[in-house]
Amino acid sequence: MKFPYEALDVSDKSFFTPYSPPAEALQKAAEIILLSIGENVKREGLERTPKRFAKAYAEICSGYQYTAQDAVGEGVFQGEGGLVSVRDIDFFSLCEHHMLPFWGKISVAYLPQDKILGLSKIPRLTEVFSKRLQVQERLTKDIATGINEVIAPRAVAVRIVGSHMCMMMRGVKKSGSETVTEFSVGLDKISQQETDRLWKSIE
Ligand SMILES: [Zn+2]
């Protein structure tokens, strides 16, 4: 089969260099995908698709530019006190194996040491890690360790319930299944009773 990408010289790596805007590289990538699946990139409905794709991906994958610290900014306050939990934060991410969406709910609980997070900062912090190519297990760990980094709580627990498009529309086609992942930091420093309360609060 003849390589069909006349529009693109793939030996020309210039569009991967820092000198060309990433939007352009993403547009070219979208064109390659369209051509590869046998589409006509010139037909009316697809004319602006590479542009839209580039814009969408720039947003969906914007997490790479930020750290947990960037997400919380000034939103760290002195304060002890009891258990803090934020449940069912919506997230959307892309699985790194298929680049297909996975999405669901993130729940976070922590026992403060001497710092607490502004409540709106927790969803923002989750986005730093969900807006990247991910696997759900690592996303769970990234969020827990990210919170540990910015406020060093006594303990933090994260639980994610996710649905994966790559399982639903291809492969095993298990459309009703959900994946649950958990990660915690610092449970060895708290009592069993506190551990139970931490997990119970985000069940
Ligand atoms: Zn996948």
What's the gap in Å between 120 CA and the centre of ligand 1?
29
**Tens of pLDDT, residues 104-124:** 999 999 999 999 999 899 999
Q: Is 18 exposed, middle or buried (0-12, 13-18, 19+ CB in 10 A)?
A: exposed
- Transcribe 104-171 into DSSP letters: EEEEEEEE-SSEEE-TTHHHHHHHHHHSSEE-HHHHHHHHHHHHHHHH--SEEEEEEEEEEHHHHSST
In the chain, what percentage of residues exceed pLDDT 90? 76
Mean pLDDT across the stretch 84-109?
97
Q: What average pLDDT is seen over the chain?
A: 89
* Mean per-residue pLDDT, 65-78: 92
Distance of CA 165 from the midpoint of ligand 1 (Å): 7
* pLDDT value for 21: 59
The whole-angstrom separation of Cα 77 and Cα 89 is 21
What is the 92 CA–ligand 1 centroid distance (Å)?
A: 13
Cα dihedral sign, 186-187-190-196: positive
N- to C-terminal Cα separation, the chain: 53
pLDDT at 6: 45
Using the mean position of ligand 1's atoms as its centre, give its distance from the Cα of residue 73 in Å: 32
Residue 42, pLDDT above cutoff 70: yes
The domains found in the chain, sorted by start residue, are: 13-60 (1.10.286.10), 74-201 (3.30.1130.10)
> What is the CA(94)–ligand 1 centre distance, in A?
8
pLDDT at 24: 86
If you measure from the C-alpha of residue 76 to the centroid of ligand 1, how many angstroms do you get, rounded to a whole number? 35
C-alpha of residue 79 to centroid of ligand 1, in Å: 40
Query: For 126-169, what is each residue's pLDDT tens digit?
Result: 999 999 999 999 999 999 999 999 999 999 999 999 999 998 88
Is the separation of the CB atoms in 112 and 152 below 8 Å?
Answer: no
